[in-house]
Amino acid sequence: MLKKIISVKNVGRFRNSATSPNPQLGKHTFIAGANGYGKTTLCAVLRSLQTGDPAHVLGRKTLGATDASTVELLLDDGQARFDGVAWNATKPEISIFDGVFVAENVHSGEVVDIEHKRNLYRVIVGDAGVKLAAQDADLAAESRAKTGEISTAGKAVQPHVPAAMKLDAFISLPETSDIAVQIEAQTRSVDALRQADALRARPVLSEFAIPALPEEFTGMLARTIDDIAQDAEQRLSEHLAAHCMTASGGNWIADGLGHADDTCPFCGQDIRALPLIAAFRAVFSERYEALAGEIATMNAGVLRDMGDAALARLNTIAEQNNGGVEFWQKYCAIEAPALSLPTEAVEAIRGLAAAATCLLDRKAAVPLELITPDEGFTVARTAYDSAAAAIEAANIAIRAANVVIADKKAAADAGDLKAAETELARLTAIQTRHRADVSELCGTYTKLCGEKDGIEARKDAIRKQLDAHTRTVVKPYERRINDYLAAFNAGFTITETKHAYPGGVATSSYQLVINDTAIDLGDSKTPGDRPSFKNTLSAGDRTTLALAFFLAHLERDPAAAGKLVVFDDPFNSQDAFRRRQTVHEIMKVAGKCAQVIVLSHDATFLKQVWDKSPAAERVALTIADHRAQGSKIMPVDLEHACRGRTATDIDDLQTYLSTGAGNLLDIIRKMRVVLETHCRTTYPGSFLANDWLGDIVRKIREGGDPHPAQALYDELDQINGYTSQYHHGEDMDDATPDQIDPSELTGFTRRTLRIVNALQA
């Protein structure tokens, strides 16, 4: 319970609210005050005490004040102080119905927007629901924050992601151990597809033809002339030896025999019947000459097949293959060393050819003798065999490479370049994805996504609880709202109260029902030609709806018995019936809570609640304007303040203004009474209890600018001038309504109600 407002300094109109003595507050406390004097400021102070939020006080610091805003309040459990920065304690057990409650939870001006629906949800679901909704909102905020972190992490990864690939697909790419090999192969495939025409025209590799000795080479060396007599050979040998012609004498003799007939071509002697000549003719017969020719032919063949020209052709094929390998390696996986001509092959072939020629030369010199390959030939043949095997290995590799090349040509002809490029991009992305630096970025992203999934799982669980709780309270709450609307004699109800989560935040919505027609609330963007909250409810209806929401919430609050409940101008722009119903509802609240404070600009309304309150528990205060000293909170006598200014007078003026009903002369008389009572009550130090309206106007005029009521002078002077002509002079019993202009009276009635803060919106 709030026992005393010790002081409110430098907050709004309160430079220092304290007076001497400072009044105590009661269980039923009523505070009267004109608009702009500080009622809303007191609500802001109490809301700051409730929430602990200093902004409600600091935002209302007195303009021009240099000292800090401070507040001291006396509560049941001690003093609560605001030192210009923070409270030393808070008191959550406060519920306030004021413009802030309406603007935050029901509507702002004529519009119901998303924030109103979100806040109203918390009003509807009660403390248990609010706790769940708070957890839901916290998790939603945590999820949004995590989404921001994920977005940042994703942006760090994004530069590494191929243009045609989604971020999540990139991060999910599996690691591949031989990715470099796959990329190399796919790169060649892509290049091949891009160069399909060039591949089609490019020849395959050529095999190396291995030069070899004639198959009959060894047999040739071993051949002799079988039909030559042994003695002829002996004689020939002896003769050649005797004349030192062993090396080449045979050829010389063979050439000479072609010139011999019966005489010797050298000496002219008769050579017929000479045994030696017979031997010569036997040795150098046609078979001998044929053998010599075969030897010469084989020697020429060896030079042709294994000589420089042949070796040059072999080198030419090697060079062509080297160029082919260099080309095909761009598109195929072939190994150059295995395809090359062995480096020792040419020399080995040349060496064997030289050794073979040497043997053939020896054979040609002595065709009839058996020539056995010497050690030099054997060494050369061994080297050659090794080189031939190496050349054959190269040919085997060439044949295998040509198979690969043929496959590549076929693939290039039938391949899909776009698909191949896509696959290459995927393989390259895999390599990039699992690079150390990128892998770390992806790990961070994945970790954050996992954390967000955990948050979403917890949020889903809380939301299920919240949904279940909401379903149990929404319809009963809707019914209770409609009960209150019926009690206030409102011409509408609400229906289809439900909740949703737009923007991830729990939100309530409902429809209005007017003349059995459901109307959506709409929002600030709803066209003016469509029925909605802003063009179907009057100001009084909107106030009534807001009060119904507040009362229904308070009624279901399990902690209501210990609460301080504040009503700031709960009766506003409503008719007399709703006024009386508001009084009744406030008294019901007062009977169920620890303390009620009612603030109003309308003293007669406060008097109606005062009259229903226990005398021992009620306190009446007023917020009075003390000019340079600001507003002060002072005791007030409501009985005296409302003497002659009854609620009926105000009601009659409001009714006339709304409907034109009422006796015109009575309305004029009541205008004067209402204004006189207002001035005496609001400025008790300036006017006497028996001052009439003319006296009041005169005193203000004579007081000049310093007079507290100077701001009212022009209005009061004009209204006094208008009403006095009907109040004095002629016998009022003879006056007739015909002499009064209703339009003029309506204008002055409105001005009167505006002065006393009773003009309905």
Tens digits of per-residue pLDDT, 646-671? 567 888 888 898 888 888 998 998 99
Q: Which of 433, 450, 475 is the last residue of a domain?
A: 433
Beta bridge partners of 2: 75
What amino acid occupies position 402?
Answer: N
CATH at residue 567 = 3.40.50.300
- Looking at per-residue pLDDT, the higher value among 92 and 532 belongs to 92
- Looking at per-residue pLDDT, the higher value among 468 and 263 belongs to 468
Please provide the DSSP assignment of 581-602 as one string: HHHHHHHHHHTTSSEEEEEES-
Q: Is the pLDDT of residue 230 over 50?
A: no
Are residues 483 and 347 part of one domain? no
- The model's confidence at residue 252, banded by pLDDT at 50, 70 and 90, is low
Q: Which of 607, 636, 665 is the last residue of a domain?
A: 636
Q: Where are the alpha helices (DSSP H) in 52-178?
A: 55-58, 99-105, 114-157, 167-171
The burial class, CB within 10 Å (0-12 / 13-18 / 19+), for 354 is middle
Report the alpha-carbon distance of residue 377 to residue 360 in Å, rounded. Answer: 11
What amino acid occupies position 207?
Answer: E
Report the alpha-carbon distance of residue 199 to residue 328 in Å, rounded. Answer: 8
Does the predicted model carry a pTM greater than 0.85? no
Report pLDDT for 642.
Answer: 72
42 assigned to some structural domain? yes
Are residues 417 and 338 part of one domain? yes
Closest CA relative to residue 209, chosen from 337, 323, 334, 321: 321
Report the alpha-carbon distance of residue 609 to residue 28 in Å, rounded. Answer: 9
Q: What average pLDDT does this structure show over 159-170? A: 88
Q: Is the pLDDT of residue 735 over 50?
A: no
CB of 264 within 8 A of CB of 311? no
Are residues 88 and 3 part of one domain? yes
Q: Is the backbone peptide bond immediately before 21 cis, with ω within 30 degrees of 0?
A: yes
- Looking at per-residue pLDDT, the higher value among 157 and 725 belongs to 157
Q: How many CB atoms lie within 10 A of CB 312?
A: 10
Are residues 340 and 194 part of one domain? yes
Strands 564-568, 94-97: pairing kind: parallel
Closest CA relative to residue 5, chosen from 624, 632, 563, 589: 632
Beta bridge partners of 270: 263
Beta bridge partners of 494: 512
Are residues 651 and 631 part of one domain? no
Closest CA relative to residue 199, chosen from 324, 333, 319: 324
Q: What average pLDDT does this structure show over 36-48? A: 91
- The model's confidence at residue 275, banded by pLDDT at 50, 70 and 90, is low
The burial class, CB within 10 Å (0-12 / 13-18 / 19+), for 407 is exposed
Are residues 386 and 513 part of one domain? no
Q: Which of 610, 636, 662 is the last residue of a domain?
A: 636
Report the alpha-carbon distance of residue 51 to residue 266 in Å, rounded. Answer: 150
Q: What average pLDDT does this structure show over 602-630? A: 88
- Looking at per-residue pLDDT, the higher value among 729 and 594 belongs to 594
Are residues 412 and 312 part of one domain? yes
Buried (b) or exposed (e) across 373-396, using 16+ Cβ within 10 A? beeebeebbebbeebbebbeebbe
271 assigned to some structural domain? no
Tens digits of per-residue pLDDT, 501-515? 776 666 767 777 888
Are residues 566 and 550 part of one domain? no
- Residue 633 phi/psi, 5-degree rounding, is -100, 120
Q: In the numeric block, which tokens belong to residue 446?
A: 């994945």
Average pLDDT, the chain: 82
237 assigned to some structural domain? no
- The model's confidence at residue 248, banded by pLDDT at 50, 70 and 90, is low
Tens digits of per-residue pLDDT, 367-405? 777 888 889 899 999 998 898 898 888 889 888 888 888
- The model's confidence at residue 542, banded by pLDDT at 50, 70 and 90, is confident
CB of 583 within 8 A of CB of 608? yes
Mean pLDDT: which of 1-15, 98-112, 173-187, 684-698 is highest?
1-15
Report the alpha-carbon distance of residue 645 to residue 624 in Å, rounded. Answer: 19
Q: What average pLDDT does this structure show over 439-450? A: 92
Q: Where are the alpha helices (DSSP H) in 613-741?
A: 638-641, 647-659, 664-682, 693-703, 713-727
- Looking at per-residue pLDDT, the higher value among 437 and 200 belongs to 437
* H helix and E strand count, the chain: 28, 12
Q: What is the dihedral of CA 387, 391, 397, 398, to 10 degrees?
A: 160
Q: Is the pLDDT of residue 227 over 60?
A: no
Are residues 749 and 653 part of one domain? yes
363 assigned to some structural domain? yes
Q: How many residues does the chain have?
A: 761
Q: What average pLDDT does this structure show over 727-746? A: 67
Are residues 743 and 628 part of one domain? no
- Residue 509 phi/psi, 5-degree rounding, is -145, 165
CB of 80 within 8 A of CB of 49? yes
The burial class, CB within 10 Å (0-12 / 13-18 / 19+), for 56 is buried
- Structural domain of 576: 1-93+560-636
| Total domains, the chain | 4
Q: Is the pLDDT of residue 119 over 90?
A: no
- Looking at per-residue pLDDT, the higher value among 595 and 479 belongs to 595
CB of 480 within 8 A of CB of 503? no
19 assigned to some structural domain? yes
Q: What average pLDDT does this structure show over 331-355? A: 84
- The model's confidence at residue 74, banded by pLDDT at 50, 70 and 90, is very high
Beta bridge partners of 614: none
Report pLDDT for 229.
Answer: 45
- Looking at per-residue pLDDT, the higher value among 157 and 537 belongs to 157
126 assigned to some structural domain? yes
Q: Is the pLDDT of residue 549 over 70?
A: yes
Are residues 515 and 579 part of one domain? no
- Looking at per-residue pLDDT, the higher value among 272 and 338 belongs to 338
Are residues 340 and 392 part of one domain? yes
442 assigned to some structural domain? no
161 assigned to some structural domain? no
